Amino acid sequence: MYLPQHFEETRVEELHRVIREYPLGVLILNGPNGLDANHLPFELNPNDSECGQLLAHVARANPLWQEAKDGDEALVIFRAANAYISPNWYPSKHEFHRQVPTWNYQAVHAHGKIKIRDDEKFLRGVVARLTRVNEARTGSEKPWKMTDSSKEYIDQMLTAIVGIEIEITKLLGKWKLSQNREERDRINAAEELRKRGEQVTSAAMLDAVVNKH
């Protein structure tokens, strides 16, 4: 990932926050048939390491778990807020007319080593935690839980998936939020996004103004 210094995000707590808030990642592996990408919801396990672990599962019918070998290099990409930025939103444009469109975004690249986990205890734990966290996002008064279904049915479903564990060895973050623009341009662009309902991107841009990230 091309990473100019003014767009680089190095705070591990911020990188972890994005992974938690936007858990659908793209797992990329270089397998026997070349590059392969799978879109999977991940659980972040901070554990005691510097970068933590990513936990997920795939369908048993997915050849990924048979083609990947323990210790293979893996890349998981998480994308957060993103939006098109018009030059018309920069006050300086109307003075100098030397701006062009761009796209602002936040992205985290998690590099690591994969391990296949085909054991029921691991799978049950991952599924239970992913369910609990994501059901909480729905705002339901009675969130779904595994015990809502019969034990026999859940046991059957668990046999149809295989677990994945990725030990993160490196985290890269890119917060491309117009940090290279004048402050008035950044603030006005954030306000234009807010008007259009892009609250998350707008908030991220204003945070970049305050924290100089």
Q: What is the pLDDT along the chain (213 residues), one digit of tens a residue?
A: 999 999 999 999 999 999 999 999 999 999 998 999 999 999 999 988 889 999 999 999 999 999 999 999 999 999 998 999 999 999 987 777 778 999 999 999 999 999 999 999 999 999 999 999 999 999 999 999 999 999 999 999 999 999 999 999 999 999 999 888 888 998 998 888 888 888 888 888 888 765 654
Q: Which long-range contacts (CB under 8 A, 24 or more apart) does 197-200 make?
A: 198/81, 198/83, 200/80, 200/81
Instruction: Measure the CA–CA gap between 204 and 213, rounded to whole angstroms.
Output: 10
> What structural domains does the chain harbor?
5-182 (2.30.110.10)
Residues whose CB is less than 8 angstroms from the CB of residue 194 and which lie 6 or more positions away in sequence, other chains included: 202
CA distances from 75 to 1, 25, 53, 160, 169 (A): 11, 10, 12, 24, 10
Pairing status of strand 53-59 against strand 73-85: unpaired
- β-strand partners of 106: 175
- β-strand partners of 83: 104
pLDDT of residue 97: 72
> How many other CB atoms are there within 10 angstroms of residue 79's CB atom?
15
Instruction: Measure the CA–CA gap between 128 and 131, rounded to whole angstroms.
Output: 5
pTM: 0.91
The tokens describing 69, both together, are: 């070998």
Residue 158 burial (C-beta neighbours within 10 Å; 0-12, 13-18, 19+): middle
